[in-house]
Amino acid sequence: MNTTLQRYFPDSEVSMVHQDGSKTPADKGLEVVLFTRENETDPCCAELSSEDFGAEIGFTFEGKELIDFDGAFSLPGEVAELLQELGYLVPEEMVA
């Protein structure tokens, strides 16, 4: 996979929400890396990492519109920001 865009958000707070709704203490600072498969143009996933947490979110696009994602309950605003910067439409109801 190729790195499409990478950015560090120093003021973002990151925590894990468990299935029972409880949250872990927050880390400060989040790195987001968008990846694209070889010979494709749309990002296929985002890798998110902080000091104690990591996650990967997969994307499904229809043209330039994000129509689905997996790996998170809602799309972090930082991921939406990077996708929009690349010209993708991210429906507001998907964003945390």
pLDDT in tens, 12-71: 988 877 778 888 888 899 999 999 999 999 999 999 999 888 889 999 999 999 999 998
Q: What is the pLDDT of residue 90?
A: 97
Residues 34 and 83 sit within 8 Å (Cβ to Cβ) = yes
Helix (H, G, I), strand (E, B) or coil at 58: strand
At residue 68, the pLDDT reads: 96
- Distance between CA 29 and CA 12 in Å, rounded? 5
Residue 11's pLDDT band, with cuts at 50, 70 and 90, is very high
Q: In what order do the strands lie in the sheet with 65-70?
A: 2-14, 27-36, 43-49, 54-62, 65-70
